[in-house]
């Protein structure tokens, strides 16, 4: 039997190969896409992600700058840095690594990024465009989830997609993207009654709650596609929101953690940065 485990790293490599070709084409016209990554403080996980983003840029020929700002920086200073990057011609995409220190207003910082450079797709204008179905930068993790589902060869059309989690970064946008693929969508959350019964109706289950192994085999329909967005650290090990070992025998396809959705988040960021660059010329 062919493996039913979706290899997010492999899919990422395939997409990054074609992105590399696109960057080469741009370079022939003396154009190079540029990304600025801003990180505040020294959270080790955030540092890992930022390093991974810079390295991924470097690998495919995107110019990148990383700004490591101290924990004590004021919101005003951070906003000034963003203003500077907004008017920097070499920079087509700007992202501020989240979470930010608690004294800084995250939404105010995101809103300061020019919507044209908002390659995370978190700016209110891009979120609003997504809601009404206009062309916008898609948030990277949700876009990565949809791409992984499509690459199984299955379609979302007419399927029941059950999303667990309602964050602005994953749950809500992935529900909208599923809707635009003509899926029937249910969003579950911490107040949902009969969660297990609802998840069991899902032809496609997308778990984005941040609770280790909360989706167990008894909750999953035979043959469902299971996409695990969770990244939980338990005793120094990464585990998803899905009990992978149990659920993999029931699912038609399933993403592992690590090596599933995570790498796709960065791949979609690269793609958005190239799009931002092309739009600017």
Residues binding ligand LMY7XDAE (CB under 6 A): 48-49, 95-98, 120, 140-141, 231, 238, 257-259, 262-263, 265-266
276 closest CA partner among 31, 92, 100, 107: 92
Of 81, 117, 120, 203, the active-site residue reads 120
161 versus 261: smaller Cβ distance to Mg ion: 261
> CB of 194 within 8 A of CB of 220?
no
34 versus 171: smaller Cβ distance to Mg ion: 171
Binding mask 257-276 for Mg ion (x = CB under 5 A): --------x-----------
Q: Which residues contact 48 (CB under 8 A, 6 or more apart)?
A: none
Q: Look up 120 and say whether it is catalytic.
A: yes
- State yes or no: 51 annotated in a binding site: no
Q: Look up 53 and say whether it is catalytic.
A: yes
229 closest CA partner among 202, 207, 259, 252: 207
Peptide bond into 99 cis (omega under 30): yes
Spatial distance between the Cα atoms of 174 and 185, rounded to a whole number of angstroms: 10
- State yes or no: 231 annotated in a binding site: yes
Spatial distance between the Cα atoms of 142 and 174, rounded to a whole number of angstroms: 5
11 versus 266: smaller Cβ distance to ligand LMY7XDAE: 266
Partner whose binding site includes residue 187, from ligand LMY7XDAE, Mg ion, none (CB under 5 to 8 Å by kind): none
Partner whose binding site includes residue 263, from ligand LMY7XDAE, Mg ion, none (CB under 5 to 8 Å by kind): ligand LMY7XDAE
Q: Please give the positions annotated as active site.
A: 53, 97, 120
Q: Using CB under 5 A, list all residues that contact Mg ion.
A: 140-141, 265
């Amino acid at each position: 039997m062919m493996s039913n485990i979706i290899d997010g790293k492999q899919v990422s490599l395939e997409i990054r190969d074609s992105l590399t070709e696109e960057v080469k084409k741009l370079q022939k016209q003396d154009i190079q896409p540029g990304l600025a990554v801003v990180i505040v403080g020294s959270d080790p996980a955030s540092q890992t992600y930022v390093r991974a983003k810079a390295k991924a840029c470097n690998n495919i020929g995107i110019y990148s700058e990383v700004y490591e700002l101290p924990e004590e920086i004021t919101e005003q200073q951070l906003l000034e840095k963003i203003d500077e990057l907004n008017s920097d011609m070499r920079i087509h995409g700007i992202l501020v690594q989240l979470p930010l220190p608690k004294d800084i207003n995250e939404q105010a910082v995101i809103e300061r990024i020019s919507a044209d450079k908002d390659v995370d797709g978190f700016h209110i204008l891009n979120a609003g465009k997504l809601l009404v179905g206009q062309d916008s930068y898609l948030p990277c993790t949700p876009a990565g989830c949809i791409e992984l589902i499509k690459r199984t060869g299955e379609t979302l059309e007419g399927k029941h997609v059950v999303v667990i989690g309602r964050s602005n970064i994953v749950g809500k946008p992935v529900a909208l993207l599923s809707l635009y693929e003509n899926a029937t969508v249910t969003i579950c959350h911490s107040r949902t009654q009969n969660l297990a019964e609802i998840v069991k109706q899902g032809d496609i289950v997308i778990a984005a709650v941040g609770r280790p192994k909360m989706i167990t085999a008894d909750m999953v329909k035979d043959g469902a596609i299971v996409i695990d967005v969770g990244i939980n650290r338990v005793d120094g090990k990464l585990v998803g929101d899905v009990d992978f070992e149990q659920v993999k025998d029931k699912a038609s396809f399933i993403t592992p953690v690590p090596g599933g959705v995570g790498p796709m988040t960065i791949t979609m960021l690269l793609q958005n940065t190239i799009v931002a660059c092309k739009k600017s010329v």
